[in-house]
Structure 1
């Protein structure tokens, strides 16, 4: 029975890791090394099978054909050339196959390493609303010390929407959270800006900075 030495999929692919790995550094290194180890093991198994096949073929020829030609029947110089040529071609094919697999594995590791390096750090905290208690109007800039890629806000840690009132939302760089035509939450340099009320009809329903209310935020750096 023929043995299949191909690697249709890695046992421990890097893509199975969560977007933000929580494992120890040693485990993360082992996971990155695992695909290369699988390629090496498959190559070693293929080389071992090749040696066993050579032994079987030589035995079959010896038993089947009387007067079979052996290398010791050739002139020593010719025998060395024939053996060298065969070994060279075999080694070239094996090296090409191994190089292809290694390059594929390296490409995948490079892409996956780049993806992991692009994952965000998450910061969190709270702020207290400062809108005018009588009019409900007032905006506040919360300074973080860095400009986030995304910001998520929830009033009291649970409220985003209640009936027709907006108490939280998510904003991305260049894409503020909107209520109709009015911003409710937007990213600014070194932080974000939370809104409560304004003069337009839609924004009177915005309540991300109500007086004395506490808001929880997640900032993705």
Structure 2
């Protein structure tokens, strides 16, 4: 399963140049482009399959197979928006890992380029809930994103960090392995379990900020 994704993960960070500009490497660049497009289709289909379970959400487009610097970017992502604006926290699916061991993480997060002055405050409300057994935290500390096991001690540590300004942003995430999956249905079943664990955190981000008159 997901053979194109698996193969494309081998080319993380490789520079892509338009085939017309590199005659000697044109064939290789064409192969990169074709593989990137096929891998993106595989990921988009996974997101679409997941979205069909939650039609009340709105599926955003999948990230591109290369970035603005024209470096190959196999770790695709896509957002699924619920209620609220594009600045509010929502769900996202992201690829992780390498060709030997990869999967997709389901998270509650927001789109940085769409954020407003309240986005971070809303996002970090995920720390106000007790830890669920399936989730872990992914926190941005002094510009570096770090993974933290979902424990009460880590929740309190990150909560204090947010209060002091050391921690900027905290995501809650659940991982589902794709490289070892036996079927599409098995993957979707694991994602449904993850969604059930994440829904309370998402709902916490919906709570009105004190003093908000909306």
Q: TM-score range by the shorter chain?
A: under 0.3
Normalization by structure 1: what TM-score?
A: 0.23
Structure (1 or 2) with the larger CA radius of gyration: 1
Normalization by structure 2: what TM-score?
A: 0.24
